[in-house]
Amino acid sequence: MYEALIKGTNKLITIDTFKRQYGEKAVRDGLELICPACRNIVHPYALVSFRRKACFHHNPNTSCIYLDERDSYIAIPKQWDIESGKRLRASLGDKEFISKLYCFCLTLCRRGNLPVDKFIGLVKKADKRNLWSHAGLEEWIIGFVLLVLDDFEAEDKSGRPYVFRFLLEQNFTKPNPLITKSKQKVDIEDLTQQGDYFLVKVFDNGNLMRHPEGNPYLVSKDSWKKFSKEYEWAYKNQGDRLLKRVKELKE
Ligand SMILES: [Zn+2]
């Protein structure tokens, strides 16, 4: 990766700035750099190489979502925004907002298919990659992104289990995509361009699902409002529990 945080601060630094203003010596003198996603120590690499592009490297055996390319359908952000990330993560501590977010995800999964534990698991996955600090993320986008972080299990009317998932697809046109995994990595920044991306709900075999109506769903503020508008039910019945569980994640 090309950006890291200076430990003990919220200051992001690019590898190029690091090269110019600090260099190897600063590290030898005790300056520590950490990954904005997993918060593990990273080291500047190839600072003086002509052949290799300089970057920050994790230690071997570090567990960071961005080290496993296959696992990161959401692209490594071109830019981090640590301050905004803190604000967005803190907004989950607002009972109305967390209830809306849960309602949005629940409506799209449909009742019965999104237990609170599963929803909290999605937030945990977002925490693990510090998704909140991707530059460009806004409150209304969070739900769309949470839904693509995992697969979902459900049962049909006769009790047979099936798997479904959500994909983010650009310029979706075909009536039946038969896609099971997204082809491209998604930059969160690009999702703010309303009208470009669709959230597509598919069975494990790639067939489009019919419910709720309107699949694929445009990634837009209108869709966010539409699927979160009946949040009062969640507020009344699950609001306190959601707050408690989200708070526990931070501890
Ligand atoms: Zn990392």
- In this structure, is the dihedral angle defined by the CA atoms of residues 226, 228, 231 and 237, taken in order, positive or negative? positive
| 82 CA from centroid of ligand 1 (Å) | 14
Q: What is the pLDDT of residue 95?
A: 97
Secondary-structure breakdown of the chain: helix, strand, coil percentages, each rounded to the nearest 5:
40, 20, 40
Measured from the Cβ of residue 95, the count of other Cβ atoms closer than 10 Å reads 14
- Please spell the DSSP secondary structure of 178-230, one letter per residue: --SS-SS-B-HHHHTSTTSEEEEEEETTSPBP--STTSSEE-SHHHHHHHHTT
Q: What is the pLDDT of residue 119?
A: 97
Contacts of 24 by beta carbon, 8 Å cutoff, 6+ apart:
44, 47, 48
Q: What is the H or E stretch that residue 101 is in?
A: helix 95-109
DSSP designation for 110: -
Residue 84 tokens read as 């905004």
Q: How much is the pTM?
A: 0.84
Q: What is the pLDDT of residue 68?
A: 62
| 60 CA from centroid of ligand 1 (Å) | 11
Q: What is the pLDDT of residue 118?
A: 96
Contacts of 217 by beta carbon, 8 Å cutoff, 6+ apart:
108, 198, 199, 200, 201, 223, 227
Residue 211 tokens read as 């419910």
pLDDT per residue, tens digit, the chain (251 aa), is 888 999 988 889 999 899 888 888 888 888 999 999 888 999 998 887 778 888 899 988 888 877 765 556 788 888 899 999 999 999 999 999 999 999 999 999 998 999 999 999 999 999 988 999 999 999 999 999 999 999 999 998 899 999 999 988 887 766 555 666 666 788 888 888 877 899 999 988 888 899 999 999 999 999 999 999 999 999 999 999 999 999 999 76
| 35 CA from centroid of ligand 1 (Å) | 5
Q: What is the pLDDT of residue 160?
A: 93
| 42 CA from centroid of ligand 1 (Å) | 8
Q: What is the pLDDT of residue 103?
A: 98
For residue 161, say if its preceding peptide bond is cis, omega within 30 degrees of 0: no
Residues within 5 Å of ion ligand 1 by Cβ?
35, 37-38, 64
Q: What is the pLDDT of residue 177?
A: 56
Q: In angstroms, rounded to a whole number, what is the distance separating the alpha carbons of residues 214 and 69?
A: 31
| 45 CA from centroid of ligand 1 (Å) | 15
| 190 CA from centroid of ligand 1 (Å) | 22
| 202 CA from centroid of ligand 1 (Å) | 30
| 71 CA from centroid of ligand 1 (Å) | 13
